[in-house]
């Protein structure tokens, strides 16, 4: 599919003219974009609205409650070797997740160079970093629950703090977990050589190709990006 | 599979090789767990119709209570609220949305744009089965302890999860929210398919501006749904947490029956904003496919090209975009900053401009047309009249000062039933009479069709015109029984009884329609490939009904738009989209 499209790409105009030409052309509005990639982008747009609604709702209830909001820097602080460190766990989690975006990008690069082994290893590393993130989130949840934070109340202030925290991080964590599962499935397929010989998928009976790595990567980067917003709006604010 | 090389008649070469389709090996994978968009479309349509019949029966029960209060004492106030809620929710989401997008979208998009199937057939199949699951969860709530939720279709908190509301502290509201979440997940799977198929899988020569308006309507509505449903999804999640875990997203501090509830600090208005951020686009998610389909019906049956095609496309897009910034006109009575009311009233009234463009263009398409009063055409004309009627009362209600006194009366019920109930359903009927020959190879019976049309059309007006009037008198909506009230004259009660009788008659007319659908599959007149002499691509398939893969060996090539009717000098009064220019001149 890629080969044919690229021959035509050379003749297409750029800029606004190219935009108009593409949208007024036949067959495809996004030239050189496969069905799968177009679908992932549109899905991510829809998912952006989901997270946008979650974050806006959190901000609204933070305004509507009459009880003071707990201070996130204090709530998410850890005592490490006797030192009181605000937000340290969240900082490490953020670092891990952003690192995983780096290994994901490297996996996509290796995939397009048909480096089967390295792609698979990098995908597994990405999945491990993602799993580490989820693990640390589980630790954070456990710690807060031990300290008495519940979705319906907490010792320090507005009960919406716990509600929004568990809901938003839970929803994001679910996204990461789904991503980890997909990364492992794709890693297995890469390792087995499915994308080299175009072996059809078990459910879809469509031939596999290395672009799947990139499409999985789009989802993964999106999940990371969403985390940045959650970090900024929930933990830092 | 081969890929056609080089351009022909100025049509560019194929950019993507023909897809390898999934080949079903058994009856089950062909007709039950089917990955063929046409079969999925029919499955969607049948399921939506089945659940729609439940909603129809519920409306009968409501009308019996309203028309003859006290006579049917098996309808308790609680049950009345449950009927209202389920009727509204089923009709808006599970019938109209599912039928237009899941039903017509699946059947028509690939055929109309010259594709073999949706781009991801497996996911498309999952979409239907999750939709079916959502419907089953919804139906289950009728049998759950406490029955279905009676919170009204808007499910406003805090009342929706309190014990005073039917299903509020039982299973009803939980199953309702779960069902909605499932519906949204299933819809997203299908919706992504429709959008990507339209954007990326069109036939050679099929530019966006050559697509039939049906495809434009369904496409724009699907994009809107993908952006609007997230708000409903999120509010469903939060309400479920409020109900099950005792969080307070939507729940303020409350005292119920002298008891202080364990909720504090939530914002009921937040729910209203989220709900209507979904709810208003939802109106156009239903209306835009109807606009598109009705444009095609009018053009085909008046043998004229659609007037102002480009304007029609832009009007669809502009209506779609505007509908995201009008939502708070549903919340005038909730109270808001007057400047907000002014803003939302203005945006609401601006929508009348592109909508009026569409109505004028329909009329100008009919102007001096060779109008064939076939059953689909009758329904299309009925749509225009009804939509204008419902739209005009929308202009009343878009203004804050007029809306506030009318908001909780039957006037609003009459308004939205005209504009997003009756009008789109007329289009659905018209579309079924129009495309049934393509789906089954046989025509629907004309006589039964006309009976169905006239009873439904006249009946709908006899139901909803008086309803405007009793609304203006001040008869409130959502009331189980009005009782003896000074401001409601006796004539309003008589009218209420009249409306109820008409509702029963119109409902009964739908039995004629259902019988026609079943009867004509075997006994209907054979239709041939193109009984209406239509130009759009779905009528040009090599076989009728089209088999899996739609087009046989070679994909169609498109040379023109879908509206070449009565072209001077042409051999026939229509030129199919896939007819090369040289041949058309013969």
Per DSSP, chain A holds a count of helices (H) and strands (E) of 9, 2
User: Under an 8 A CB cutoff, do A27 and B199 touch?
Assistant: no
Q: What is the ipTM of this complex?
A: 0.94
Helix axes B213-244, B172-200, angle to 10 degrees: 150
Contacts of A1 in chain B (CB under 8 A): 16-17
Q: Over 60: is that where the pLDDT of B82 sits?
A: yes
User: What average pLDDT score do residues B537-562 get?
Assistant: 93
Rg of chain B taking only CA atoms, in angstroms? 24
Contacts of B226 in chain A (CB under 8 A): 42, 45-46
Enumerate residues 196 to 215 of chain A having a beta carbon within 8 A of any beta carbon in chain B: 203-207
Taking the Cβ of residue B68 and every Cβ of chain A, the question of whether any pair is shorter than 8 Å is answered with no
Q: Using an 8 Å Cβ cutoff, are B504 and B455 in contact?
A: no
A165: nearest CA partner in chain B: B247
Please tell me which residue of chain A has the smallest CA distance to B559.
Answer: A26
Helix (H/G/I), strand (E/B), else coil: A100: helix
Name every residue whose Cβ is closer than 8 Å to that of residue A132 and which is 6 or more positions away in sequence: A96
Task: Tell me if B116 sits within 8 A of B547, measured CB to CB.
Answer: no
Contact (CB<8Å) A1/B266: no
Query: Has residue A204 been placed in a domain?
Result: yes
3-state class of B451 per DSSP? Answer: helix
pLDDT at B287 over 90: yes
Cross-chain CB nearest to A53 (options B14, B209, B234): B234
pLDDT at A78 over 90: no
Nearest of A80, A99, A96 to residue A88 by alpha carbon: A80
Chain A, residues 137-166, CB within 8 A of chain B, namely 151-152, 158-160, 162-163
Q: Is the CB of residue B11 less than 8 Å away from at least one CB of chain A?
A: yes
State how beta strands A78-80 and A83-85 pair.
antiparallel
In a domain, A18, yes or no: no
Residues 6+ apart with CB under 8 A from B122: A203, A204, A205, B22, B35
For chain A, the straight-line distance linking the first and the last C-alpha, in angstroms and rounded, comes to: 47
Mean pLDDT of A188-194: 94
Q: How many residues does chain A have?
A: 237
Nearest by CB to A4, which of B15, B201, B249? B15
pLDDT > 60? residue B210: yes
Q: Indicate yes or no: CB of A64 within 8 angstroms of CB of B193.
A: no
Q: Does B207 touch chain A (CB under 8 A)?
A: yes
The overall longest dimension of chain B from CA atoms, in Å, is 85
More reliable by pLDDT, B338 or B313: B313
Q: Tell me, what CATH number does A177's domain have? A: 1.20.120.80
Name the residue among B211, B292, B313 with its Cα closest to residue B563: B211
Asked if B266 is an interface residue toward chain A (Cβ–Cβ < 8 A), one would say yes
Could you tell me which chain B residue has the CA closest to the CA of A163?
B247
Q: Which residues of A touch B276 (CB under 8 A)?
A: none
Percent of chain B with pLDDT over 70: 98
Which is nearest to A27 in space by CA: B223, B198, B192, B9? Answer: B198
| A39 interaction partners in chain B (CB closer than 8 Å) | 119-120, 192-193, 196
Asked if residue A224 belongs to a domain, the reply is yes
pLDDT at site B466: 95
Q: Which of B73-77's residues contact partners 24+ apart within 8 Å by CB, and which partners?
A: B75/B480, B77/B480, B77/B481
A27 touches chain B (CB under 8 A): yes
What is the average per-residue pLDDT within A36-51? Answer: 97
Structure tokens at B345: 């009233």
Within 10 A of B533 (CB to CB), how many other CB atoms are there? 14
What are the φ/ψ torsions at residue B356 (nearest 5 degrees)? -65, -35
- Chain centroid to Cα B228, Å, comes to 15
Q: What is the mean pLDDT of residues B67-88?
A: 94
**pLDDT confidence of residue A1:** 43
Q: Is B120 on the interface with A (CB under 8 A)?
A: yes
pLDDT at residue B294 is higher than 50:
yes
CA-based nearest residue in chain B for residue A32: B15
- Whether B254 has its CB under 8 Å from any CB of chain A: the answer is no
- From B19, which residue of chain A is nearest by alpha-carbon distance? A206
Tell me what the pLDDT averaged over chain B comes to. 93
**Which one of A12, A36, A53, A198 makes the best mutation probe of the B interface by having the most chain B beta carbons within 10 Å?**
A53
Mutation target for B interface from A24, A25, A46, A63: give the one with most B CBs within 10 A: A46
Distance from the Cα of A149 to chain B's closest Cα (Å) equals 12
Asked if A53 reaches chain B (Cβ–Cβ under 8 Å), the answer is yes
> 């580490």: which residue's tokens?
A132
C-alpha to C-alpha distances, B12 to A19, A95, B532, nearest whole angstrom: 18, 49, 30
Beta partners for B574? B565
What integer pLDDT is reported at residue A8 of this predicted model? 52
Question: Cβ of A29 and B199 within 8 Å?
Answer: yes
Size of interface A-B (CB pairs under 8 A): 161
Say if A26 is an interface residue toward chain B (CB within 8 Å): yes
Q: Which residue has the tokens 């909506």?
A: B477
Question: Exposed e or buried b for every residue in B569-582, given b needs 16+ CB within 10 A?
Answer: eeeeebbbbbbeee
- pLDDT tens digits for A207-219? 889 999 999 999 9
- CB B380 within 8 Å of CB B427: yes
Half-sphere exposure of residue B493, counting CA atoms within 13 Å on the CB side?
13
Q: Model-level pTM?
A: 0.95
Phi, psi angle pair for B200, to nearest 5°: -120, 0
Any residues with CB less than 8 A from the CB of B392 and at least 6 apart, and which? none
What's the rounded mean pLDDT across residues B183-208? Answer: 96
Task: Chain B: give the shortest CA distance to residue A215, in Å.
Answer: 15
- Does B542 contact chain A (CB < 8 Å)? no
Phi, psi for residue A177 in degrees, rounded to 5: -60, -45
Q: Do B267 and A64 touch (CB under 8 A)?
A: yes
Quick check: B230 and A167 CB within 8 A? no
Q: What are the pLDDT digits (tens) for B211-238?
A: 999 999 999 999 999 999 999 999 999 9
Closest CA to B319 of B362, B288, B292, B278: B288
Residue A159 to chain B, least CA–CA distance (Å): 8
A9 at the B interface (CB within 8 A)? no
Alpha-carbon gap, residue A41 to A222, rounded angstroms: 10
Among partner residues A45, A46, A151, which is closest to B241 by beta-carbon distance? A151
User: Which tokens sit at B514?
Assistant: 């259902």
**Shortest alpha-carbon distance between residue A81 and chain B (Å):** 36
> Cβ of A45 under 8 Å from any chain B Cβ?
yes
Contact A46, B188 (CB under 8 A): yes
How far A62 CA lies from chain B's nearest CA (Å)?
A: 9
What gap in Å lies between CA A144 and CA A163, rounded to an integer?
A: 12
How much is the pLDDT for A148?
93
Alpha-carbon distance of B389 to B407, in angstroms, equals 18
Q: Does residue A8 belong to any structural domain of this protein?
A: no
Read off the pLDDT of each residue in A108-117 and give the average, rounded to a whole number: 94
Is B557 in the A-facing interface, judged by CB distances under 8 Å? no
DSSP letters spanning A47-98: HHHHHHHHHHHHHHHHHH-SSPPP-HHHHT-EEETTEEETTHHHHHHHHHHH
Q: Do the chains contact at A61 and B248, CB–CB below 8 Å?
A: yes
CA atoms within 13 A on the CB side of B198: 27
Report the percentage of chain B scoring pLDDT > 90: 86
pLDDT above 90 for A41: yes
Assign residue B239 a region: left if phi > 0, alpha if psi is -120 to 50, beta otherwise?
alpha
B3 has a chain A CB within 8 A of its CB:
yes
Contact A35 B227 (CB under 8 A): no
pLDDT at A2: 45
Query: Considering its fold, how many domains does chain A have in total?
Result: 1
A50–chain B Cβ distance below 8 A for any pair: yes
pLDDT for B420-467, tens place per residue? Answer: 999 999 999 999 999 999 999 999 999 999 999 999 999 999 999 999
**Residue B263 φ/ψ, nearest 5 degrees:** -125, 150
**Cβ-based neighbour number of residue B445 at 10 Å:** 20
- CA A85/CA A93 separation, integer angstroms: 14
Domain B37-252+277-580 carries which CATH code?
1.20.210.10
Predicted confidence at residue A3, as pLDDT, reads 46
CA distance B209 to chain A (A): 7
Cα of first residue to Cα of last residue in chain B, in angstroms, is: 33
**For position B25, what pLDDT does the model report?**
83
Q: Which two tokens stand for residue B180?
A: 């909605």
CB < 8 Å to A59, chain B = none
Q: What is the pLDDT of residues B118-160, one digit of tens each?
A: 999 999 999 999 999 999 999 999 999 999 999 999 999 999 9
Is the minimum CB–CB distance between B20 and chain A shorter than 8 Å?
yes
Over residues B482-507, the mean pLDDT reads: 91
* Residues A189-203, mean pLDDT to the nearest whole number: 89
Closest CA of chain A from B238, distance in Å: 8
CA atoms within 13 A on the CB side of A102: 7
A64 reaches B (C-beta below 8 A): yes
Residue A141 domain boundaries: 51-235
Strand partners, A83: A80
Give pLDDT, residue A40. Answer: 97
Tokens representing residue A163 in the block: 């509600």
Choose among B15, B22, B245: nearest Cβ to A5: B15
Picking from A3, A9, A26 by the largest number of B CB atoms within 10 A of its own CB, the best residue to mutate is A26
3-class DSSP state of B260: strand
The token duo for B150 is 């009676």
* Shortest Cα–Cα distance, B213 to chain A (Å): 16
Closest CB to B234: pick one of A5, A57, A64.
A57
pLDDT of residue B3: 46
């Amino acid at each position: 599919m890629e080969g044919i499209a690229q021959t035509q790409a050379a003749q297409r105009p750029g800029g606004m003219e190219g935009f108009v030409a593409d949208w007024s052309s036949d067959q495809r509005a996004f030239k050189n974009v496969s069905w799968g990639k177009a679908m992932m982008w549109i899905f991510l747009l829809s998912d952006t609205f989901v997270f946008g609604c979650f974050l806006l709702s959190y901000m609204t209830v933070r305004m509507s409650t009459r009880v003071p909001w707990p201070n996130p820097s204090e709530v998410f602080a850890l005592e490490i070797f006797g030192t009181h460190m605000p937000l340290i766990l969240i900082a490490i989690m953020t670092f891990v997740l952003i690192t995983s975006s780096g290994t994901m990008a490297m996996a996509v690069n290796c995939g397009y160079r048909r480096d089967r082994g390295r792609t698979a290893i990098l995908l597994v590393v990405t999945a491990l970093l993602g799993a580490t993130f989820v693990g640390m989130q589980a630790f954070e949840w456990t710690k807060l629950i031990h300290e008495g934070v519940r979705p319906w109340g907490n010792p320090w202030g507005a009960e919406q703090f716990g509600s929004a925290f568990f809901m938003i991080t839970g929803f994001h964590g679910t996204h990461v977990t789904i991503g980890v599962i997909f990364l492992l499935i794709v890693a297995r397929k890469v390792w087995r050589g499915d994308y080299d010989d175009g072996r059809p998928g078990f459910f879809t009976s469509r031939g596999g190709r290395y672009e799947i790595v990139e499409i999985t990567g789009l989802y993964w980067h999106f999940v990371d990006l969403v985390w940045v917003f959650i970090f900024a709006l929930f933990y830092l604010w | 599979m081969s890929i056609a090389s080089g351009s022909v008649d100025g049509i560019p070469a194929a950019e993507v090789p023909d897809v390898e389709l999934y080949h079903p090996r058994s009856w089950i994978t062909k007709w039950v767990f089917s990955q063929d968009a046409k079969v999925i479309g029919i499955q969607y349509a049948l399921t939506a119709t089945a659940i729609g019949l439940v909603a129809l029966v519920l409306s009968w029960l409501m009308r019996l209570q309203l028309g003859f209060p006290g006579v049917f004492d098996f309808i308790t106030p609680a049950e009345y609220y449950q009927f209202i809620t389920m009727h509204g929710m089923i009709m808006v989401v599970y019938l109209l949305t599912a039928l237009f997008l899941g039903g017509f979208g699946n059947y028509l998009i690939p055929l109309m744009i010259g594709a073999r199937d949706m781009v991801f057939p497996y996911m498309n199949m999952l979409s239907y089965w999750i939709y079916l699951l959502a419907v089953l969860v919804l139906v289950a709530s009728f049998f759950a302890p406490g029955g279905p939720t009676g919170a009204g279709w808007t499910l406003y908190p805090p009342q929706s999860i309190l014990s005073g509301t039917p299903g509020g502290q039982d299973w009803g509201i939980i199953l309702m929210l779960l069902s909605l979440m499932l519906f949204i997940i299933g819809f997203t799977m299908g919706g992504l398919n429709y959008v990507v198929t339209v954007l990326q899988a069109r036939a050679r020569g099929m530019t966006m501006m050559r697509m039939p308006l049906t495809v434009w309507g369904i496409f724009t509505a699907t994009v809107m749904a993908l952006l609007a449903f997230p708000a409903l999804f999120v509010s469903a999640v939060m309400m479920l947490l409020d109900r099950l875990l005792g969080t307070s997203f939507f729940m303020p501090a409350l005292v119920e029956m002298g008891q202080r509830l364990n909720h504090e600090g939530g914002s009921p208005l937040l729910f209203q904003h989220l709900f209507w951020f979904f709810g208003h686009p939802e109106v156009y998610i239903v209306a835009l496919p109807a606009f598109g389909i009705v444009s095609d019906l009018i053009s085909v049956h008046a043998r004229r090209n659609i007037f102002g095609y480009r304007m029609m496309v832009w009007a669809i897009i502009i209506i779609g975009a505007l509908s995201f910034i009008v939502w708070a006109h549903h919340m005038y009575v909730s109270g808001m900053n007057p400047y907000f009311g002014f803003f939302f009233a203005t945006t609401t009234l601006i929508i009348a401009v592109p909508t009026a463009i569409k109505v004028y263009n329909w009329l100008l398409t009919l102007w001096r047309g060779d109008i064939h009063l076939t059953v689909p055409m009758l329904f299309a004309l009925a749509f225009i009249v009804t939509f204008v009627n419902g739209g005009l009362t929308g202009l009343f209600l878009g203004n804050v000062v007029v809306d506030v006194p009318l908001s909780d009366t039957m006037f609003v019920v009459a308004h939205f039933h005209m504009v997003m109930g009756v009008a789109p359903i007329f289009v659905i009927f018209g579309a079924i009479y129009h495309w049934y020959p393509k789906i089954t190879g046989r025509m629907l019976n004309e006589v039964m069709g006309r009976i169905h049309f006239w009873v439904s059309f006249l009946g709908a007006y006899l139901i909803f015109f008086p309803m405007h009037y009793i609304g203006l008198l001040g008869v409130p909506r959502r009331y189980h029984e009005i009782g003896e009230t000074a401001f409601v004259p006796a004539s309003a009660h008589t009218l209420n009884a009249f409306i109820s009788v008409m509702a029963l008659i119109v409902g009964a007319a739908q039995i004629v329609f259902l019988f026609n659908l079943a009867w004509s599959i075997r006994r209907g007149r054979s239709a041939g490939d193109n009984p209406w002499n239509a130009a759009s691509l779905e009528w040009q398939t090599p076989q009728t009904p089209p088999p899996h893969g739609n087009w046989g060996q070679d994909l169609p090539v498109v040379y023109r738009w879908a509206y070449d009717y009565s072209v001077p000098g042409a051999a026939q009064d229509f030129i199919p989209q896939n007819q090369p220019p040289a041949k058309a001149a013969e």
